[in-house]
């Protein structure tokens, strides 16, 4: 439908004017574009620079304020959900004001938000942040976190022995665990009365289209690899990973797996879009109290994954010693027990179990909070990947998620 220009001379002139105006605007923009190109060339490489950033000077003695970024439902709350009793006690005792923020929703998005400032050694506004093992490993590799002064954290000796020497941080000089958890399987007890025993049970035809898995690669692929009999904590051949990806891809394309999500998988369990899922241990306790006692969590027979979220002090934080004081506080067994009683994840502090006997003896025997040797022997930590592996495996996993 190409139309001729209206015959009215007035309208014709207006159209002509409009056309010539847009031409001159284009000229202006061309000129501006050249200067912009010069500007952008000045700062055009992405990612960390070759030189590692240096730590900021410590001003904790003069400025008694710190900020702590953490995940949702990860610190004890009082009945109204307004204050954090253990944190209030710390503030009173130490005279340090702590601004606690639920700022971490996902390792990747948090990293995306702060990475450019970290690369420049700038203050990201948080003096303490809790992130998962593999992300902490990346931050340490890039030099984005500060070294602890362990003499200021004497309680760090309470750390569970098995977590003292991790491959990404031998001797724990840059990171200390906050809470840990298992990835395993869970199911809706009303709809799947028989329960599940292994990851293979998720691929049962009766559950077609009603299975959810996590978008966290190390948990979903980790469980599938464990099912295949691979020890994920040691070096394995690339083909083992590829096999697991093949199983995963097949279940996705066959429609057995309904969806692959982060924290939002709980919504699917509640709406019953999914009846069984790969999930995180602490969450099931939470939704059972929220939405009726309907779900059951189990570590698969072939093994579950074990992960930790760790305290780190970002490179640009000027409050290192105040942050260390807070870490030290939370490594007291009594405080750790108080937190564990609320969050229902695994506490890394030795002695917390004994302290829990005094608070709530029933929880002291909860395998999801205080796992014994037998439970722990059935779980593995996904080994730290090299940078090249992280890119390659990450891309393979994402390709399934995007259906490409």
Partner 1 sequence: MAFSAFASGTVQEQAPRRKSRIALLLLLPGILYLVLFFLVPLVSLLITSLQAPSALGDIGVYETAFQWQNYVVSITQYGDQILRSFLYAVLATVFALIFSYPLAYFIGVKARNWPLLQNLMLVLVIAPFFISFLLRTLAWKSLLSDESAFVTGLKALSLLAPDAHITGTPVAVVFGLTYNFIPFMTLPLYAALERLDTRYLEAGSDLYAHPFTVFRTVTIPLSMPGIVSGVLLTFIPAAGDYVNASREFLGGTGTAMIGNVIESNFLVQLNYPAAASLSIILMVVILAIVTVYVRRSGTEDLL
Q: Does 9 bind partner 1 (CB under 8 A)?
A: yes
* Strand (E) or helix (H) holding 373: helix 373-377
Minimum gap (Å) between residue 120 Cβ and partner 1: 15
8-state DSSP, 254: T
Residue 210 near residue 341, CB atoms below 8 Å: no
Nearer of residues 25 and 93 to partner 1, judged by Cβ: 25
Region from 134-142, 223-231, 289-297, 364-372 binding partner 1, contact rule CB under 8 A: 134-142
Per-residue binding string, partner 1, 250-269, x by CB under 8 A, is --x----xxxxxx-x--xx-
Closest CA to 185 of 172, 174, 196: 196
* Options 39, 72, 89, 120; binder of partner 1; rule CB under 8 A: 39
Minimum gap (Å) between residue 10 Cβ and partner 1: 6
Nearer of residues 157 and 398 to partner 1, judged by Cβ: 398
Q: Does 383 bind partner 1 (CB under 8 A)?
A: no
Helix ranges restricted to H, 228-280:
238-253, 265-271
Helices 352-359 and 333-343: crossing angle in degrees, nearest 10, is 60
3-class DSSP string for 279-317: EEHHHHHHHHHHCCCCEEEECCCCCEEEEEEEEECECCC
* Strand (E) or helix (H) holding 278: strand 276-280
Closest CA to 152 of 313, 332, 327: 327
Residue 339 near residue 168, CB atoms below 8 Å: no
Q: Does 114 bind partner 1 (CB under 8 A)?
A: no
Q: Does 72 bind partner 1 (CB under 8 A)?
A: no
CA 276, CA 296: separation in Å to the nearest integer? Answer: 9
Residues 188-247 binding partner 1 (CB under 8 A) are 208-210, 215
- Residues in CB range of 113: below 8 A, 6 or more apart: none
Residue-level length of the chain: 404
Q: Does 362 bind partner 1 (CB under 8 A)?
A: no
Q: Does 40 bind partner 1 (CB under 8 A)?
A: yes
Q: Does 337 bind partner 1 (CB under 8 A)?
A: no
* Options 47, 161, 193, 361; binder of partner 1; rule CB under 8 A: 47
* Options 17, 105, 149, 254; binder of partner 1; rule CB under 8 A: 17
Minimum gap (Å) between residue 148 Cβ and partner 1: 24
Residues 270-289 binding partner 1 (CB under 8 A) are 271-273
* Phi then psi dihedrals of residue 50, to 5 deg: -70, -35
Chain residues binding partner 1 by CB under 8 A are 1-3, 5-6, 8-11, 13-15, 17, 28-29, 32-33, 35-37, 39-41, 44-48, 50, 108-109, 112, 115, 138, 141-142, 208-210, 215, 252, 257-262, 264, 267-268, 271-273, 387-388, 390-391, 394-395, 398, 400-404
């Amino acid at each position: 439908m190409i139309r001729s220009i209206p015959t009215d001379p007035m309208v014709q002139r207006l159209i002509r004017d409009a056309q010539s105006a847009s031409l001159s605007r284009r000229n202006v923009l061309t000129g501006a574009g050249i200067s912009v190109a010069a500007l952008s060339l000045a700062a055009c490489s992405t990612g960390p620079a070759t030189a590692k950033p240096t730590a900021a000077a410590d001003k904790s003695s003069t400025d008694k304020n710190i900020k702590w970024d953490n995940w949702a439902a990860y610190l004890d709350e009082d009945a109204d959900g307004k204050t954090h009793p253990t944190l209030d006690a710390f503030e009173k005792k130490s005279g340090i004001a702590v601004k606690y923020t639920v700022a971490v929703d996902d390792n990747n998005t948090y990293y995306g938000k702060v990475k450019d400032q970290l690369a420049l050694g700038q203050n990201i506004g948080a003096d303490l942040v809790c992130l998962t093992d593999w992300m902490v490993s990346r931050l340490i590799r890039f030099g984005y976190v500060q070294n602890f002064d362990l003499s200021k954290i004497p309680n760090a000796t309470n750390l569970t022995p098995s977590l003292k020497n991790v491959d990404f941080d031998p001797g724990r000089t840059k990171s200390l665990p906050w809470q840990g958890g298992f990835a395993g399987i869970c199911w809706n007890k009303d709809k799947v009365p028989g329960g599940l025993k292994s990851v293979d049970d998720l691929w049962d035809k009766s559950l077609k289209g009603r299975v959810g898995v996590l978008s966290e690669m190390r948990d979903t692929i980790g469980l599938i690899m464990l099912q295949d009999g691979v020890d994920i904590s040691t070096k394995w051949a690339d083909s083992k990973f590829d096999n697991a990806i093949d199983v995963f891809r097949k279940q996705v394309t066959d429609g057995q797996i309904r969806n692959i999500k982060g924290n939002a998988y709980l919504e699917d369990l509640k709406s019953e879009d999914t009846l069984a899922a790969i999930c995180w241990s602490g969450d099931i306790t939470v939704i059972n109290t929220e939405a009726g006692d309907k779900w059951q969590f189990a570590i698969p027979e072939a093994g579950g994954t074990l992960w930790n979220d760790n305290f780190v002090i970002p490179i640009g934080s000027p409050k290192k010693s105040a942050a260390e004081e807070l870490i030290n506080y939370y490594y007291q067994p009594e405080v750790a027990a108080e937190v564990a009683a609320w969050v229902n994840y695994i506490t890394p502090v030795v002695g917390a179990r004994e302290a829990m006997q005094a608070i709530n003896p029933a929880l002291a025997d909860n395998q999801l909070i205080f796992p014994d040797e037998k439970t722990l022997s059935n779980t593995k930590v996904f080994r730290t990947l090299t940078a090249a592996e992280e890119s390659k495996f990450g891309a393979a996993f994402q390709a399934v998620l995007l259906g490409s």
